[in-house]
Structure 1
Amino acid sequence: MTTHDDASAHRRPPLAISLAALTSSVDRFGISPLLMFIAVDFGVSLAGSVAVASVYFLCYGVSQPVWGILSDALGRLPVMRIALIGAVLGSLASLPAPGLLSLTLARAVTGAFFGAVVPASITYVGDTSTPRHRQSALSDLMAAIAVGTALATAAAGLVGQWLDWRVMFAVSAGLALVSLIPLFRLPEPERETGVSILRGMVLFFRERWALLVVGLAFVEGALVLGLLTLLAPALEHQGVSPGAAGLSVAAYGVATILVSRGVRPLTARWSPSRIIALGGTCLTLGLGIVALHQAVPTVIVAALLLGATWALMHTSLQAWVTEVVPSARGLSVAFFAGCLFAGSAAGSGLAGPLAEAGHWGLLFGVAAVVALALTVVAAATRSRYQYG
């Protein structure tokens, strides 16, 4: 017999899981408002400092399949514990970096370890929630991640302006250490077993829906995460202070928190394809608005709309990927996250030269067109999967 507490456990992720995911988000999004400080401190171009973020996202992404394999083999929580220990060491190594190359290498290592945390958290939710409650549970997890995003983007610019940009790496190390402790008291969830690593890979690559979803994640990562990294530099290029730029972009996290609260009742009334369409519309409008004019008000609106996209479209894609290959869920989620952050690295990397040249309108305008195409394809294919 299922008690009320048991049923609630299937609806909300444990606090320890949410805290670990929040910590990963703080480290990942704390870098954007610091890019101008890094460029000035090391005497490099903005495109050069953007490489620090791009390489971080790339290592964050390409490590995902490895973590997914280990997650299915060793368990979700052991992988998260190992990753957080490595993230502490990587963050500490970032503190004394004397130049751009050493900082990039230290951040690459940190990204590779932090890369395990959110996918393992998502998989943990997939293991412990029923399909009916999975998207709402994931929206709660995304809310925790959004809190980390809002805190990081709001604080990083102020920390860089008033203290030193390196302080953010100390914050990441401290949070990773704090979030590691409660994971040792959390029980490992039951999961489907009996599928070897090789068999899981075969199942994944033979499932066309799985390949489609990770492809959509790649494009979403380029548009949302890759270009979110450049919103603060876009404002700073217009003469806005780093602190004000970071606070403006923090609207992304605020929107994700607020909209994720509405996802739970929305999933009871709307199909996943309609939720994806709404999220994609927010993405297209957000990028289109900031393409027309780059100022604090337009960036705040764009960040709000991108946050709504994350709460609506992204959680829908996440829930979808946990369904397509249930016997290799950890691997599927890992490939999903890997493509998401590989896309993020590709997006920020490709946008770097345009950002350096100050062609912000062209950059965000092209992205808005791609976002519209993503919306149409994602909504149509999700509808076909559901009803076909």
Structure 2
Amino acid sequence: MLLAQDPAAGSPKFAVMNAQATRLSGRSRILYLGPFLSMFDRFSIAPLLLPIAHDLRVTVAQVTVVATAYFLLYGAMQVVYGLISDRIGRVLLLRVTCVGAAVAGLVSAFAPDLRVLIAGRALTGCVICAIIPTSVVYVADSFPFEMRQRAIADLLAAVGLGTAAATFSAGLLAHYLSWRVAFLLPALAALGLAYVLRWLPETLSRQPTREPAIRQLAGLARRPWLVFLTLFAIPEGAAMLGFFTFLAPTLEAHGQNAAVAGIVTGFYGVAVLAGTQVVKRIAPVVGAHWLIVSGGAALTLCYAVAALSPTIPGILSASFLAGTGYAVMHSTFQTWATEVAPQARGIGTALFVSAVFLGGGLATAGVGGLAGAGDYALLFWLGVAVTAPTIAVGAVARRRFHGQPADSDGPAAAG
């Protein structure tokens, strides 16, 4: 799944890496089920807010606390799991958090009232958030740097499939069955995944770190590129996740129902899937900074199209452009994040992911007033204003990063 013949493969070095990556691909495909499940659970919340409010006889404003609690803990707990990952290993952490997600999902599915539902979803976000960053770290442990982006692209393809499946199906499940089914299915799947992950080999080959967390974080603070990338992830997350949230509400504000809006914006996931397949083929021969520029251009164009054309064709195009930007640009930053602190890859990657979600949350909250006032055109032009300079800075920085590729136990790349 992961590898076609490397276009740059003319040397014995690349032949060896191709053979190594092919073996790793065969044994780690089971890993992709986790990101699919995590994204299905995360993106299924929005279409369920109205059905939950109606069923529990509460207001929509009260139900939004369900999503808020989930998203806050989803972002905040990333760093904690990064520290744990470097101590107990990747696979054990994945299995334990899958069991936790199953329990929390069952609490959510059978919640008798809003308070229990909020607690269940908060707990779900608290544990299921470990899956994607830990999976990225597993891939980074397994693949040499020269091939890592193609492997991460496959991981993001699973993310795209999960996103699309949630967007397309959550509303339908709520309409024809019950909103509870949309929480029950991921819970049962998480329980099954915890069992099958027992066959996934561990990749933390070195002795797990016993260094106190404070000292470990202090050491990471002395790595300039890691500090830069973590801070940079905040505006990158705002550009990648924050403004995108309002594509579906734009359609609804212009007369479309929630089902149509969900189907149209669901093409974001289709674009992620298609874009990751392109990235796998061009990453070895195209400079990383050019991938950032091209993906960032697609994302910038996404918001310009949404501002100018809040129609079904316009928002469908914007959704596809946003997914393309995620696949091409974000996968490049994600790969970079796995290399700036190889000896503490779990916490280093988690810091980046946490900052991305923080930026997305801040942007969503910051422009929420414009959405409430129905001024979606200004909202998306602000998206353009944030995205364009962010991408320019990111592309220049990636071009200036001259760290030597290192394995999981090697020295950190230096700027």
TM-score by length of 1: 0.92
Offset at 1:141? 0.6
The structure 2 residue matched to 1:316, chosen from 315, 327, 332, is: 332
Question: Which residue identity is paired with 2:129?
Answer: G
Question: Which residue identity is paired with 1:125?
Answer: V
Q: 1:44 to 1:364 in 2, by over 3 A?
A: farther
Tell which structure's C-alpha radius of gyration is larger: 2
Q: 1:103 to 1:360 in 2, by over 3 A?
A: farther
Alignment of 1:288-307 (within 5 A): 288-307=304-323
Offset at 1:239? 2.6
Question: 1:43, 1:297 → 2: CA distance?
Answer: 35
The corresponding residue for 2:80 is 66
Q: 1:375 to 1:48 in 2, by over 3 A?
A: farther
Q: Is the 8 A contact 1:11 1:129 kept in 2?
A: no
Q: 1:289 to 1:37 in 2, by over 3 A?
A: farther
Listed as ranges, the gaps of 5+ residues in structure 2 are 1-14, 404-414
Question: Which residue identity is paired with 2:307?
Answer: A
The structure 2 residue matched to 1:123, chosen from 132, 137, 147, is: 137
Question: 2:71, 2:89 → 1: CA distance?
Answer: 24
The corresponding residue for 1:24 is 38
Verify: 1:326 aligned to 2:351, yes or no.
no
The corresponding residue for 1:208 is 224
Question: Which residue identity is paired with 2:393?
Answer: V
Question: 1:194, 1:158 → 2: CA distance?
Answer: 45
Q: Is the 8 A contact 1:287 1:365 kept in 2?
A: yes
Alignment of 1:269-288 (within 5 A): 269-288=285-304
Question: Which residue identity is paired with 2:308?
Answer: L
Alignment of 1:1-388 (within 5 A): 6-10=20-24, 14-41=28-55, 49-193=63-207, 195=209, 196-198=211-213, 199-386=215-402
Offset at 1:9? 3.1
User: What SS does the aligned partner of 1:269 have?
Assistant: coil
Offset at 1:7? 3.4
Offset at 1:315? 0.7
User: What SS does the aligned partner of 2:256 have?
Assistant: coil
Taking only the aligned residue pairs, the percentage that are identical comes to 36
Question: Which residue identity is paired with 1:364?
Answer: F
Question: 1:179, 1:228 → 2: CA distance?
Answer: 30
Q: Is the 8 A contact 2:268 2:322 kept in 1?
A: yes
For residues 80-120 of structure 1, give each alpha carbon's deviation from its aligned partner in whole angstroms, at most 9, with x where no partner exists.
Answer: 11111111111111123355554333211101101100011
Range 222-231 or range 168-177, more displaced: 222-231
- Counting matched residue pairs gives 388
Question: 1:9, 1:245 → 2: CA distance?
Answer: 42
Offset at 1:386? 3.5
Range 253-262 or range 175-184, more displaced: 175-184
Q: Is the 8 A contact 1:287 1:368 kept in 2?
A: yes
Question: 2:37, 2:80 → 1: CA distance?
Answer: 21
Question: Which residue identity is paired with 2:220?
Answer: F
Question: Which residue identity is paired with 1:375?
Answer: I
Question: 1:229, 1:106 → 2: CA distance?
Answer: 23
User: What SS does the aligned partner of 1:14 have?
Assistant: helix
Q: Is the 8 A contact 1:161 1:242 kept in 2?
A: no
For residues 346-371 of structure 1, give each alpha carbon's deviation from its aligned partner in whole angstroms, at most 9, with x where no partner exists.
Answer: 23233333323322222222112101
Offset at 1:14? 1.3
Question: 2:392, 2:62 → 1: CA distance?
Answer: 34
Q: 1:98 to 1:226 in 2, by over 3 A?
A: farther
Q: Which has the higher contact order (CA 8 A, sep 6+)?
A: 1
User: What SS does the aligned partner of 2:320 have?
Assistant: helix
Offset at 1:345? 2.3
Question: Which residue identity is paired with 1:69?
Answer: L
TM-score by length of 2: 0.87
Question: 1:186, 1:325 → 2: CA distance?
Answer: 24
For residues 24-59 of structure 1, give each alpha carbon's deviation from its aligned partner in whole angstroms, at most 9, with x where no partner exists.
Answer: 111011112233434555666666544433332220
Q: Is the 8 A contact 1:209 1:324 kept in 2?
A: yes
Offset at 1:327? 0.5
Q: 1:139 to 1:221 in 2, by over 3 A?
A: same
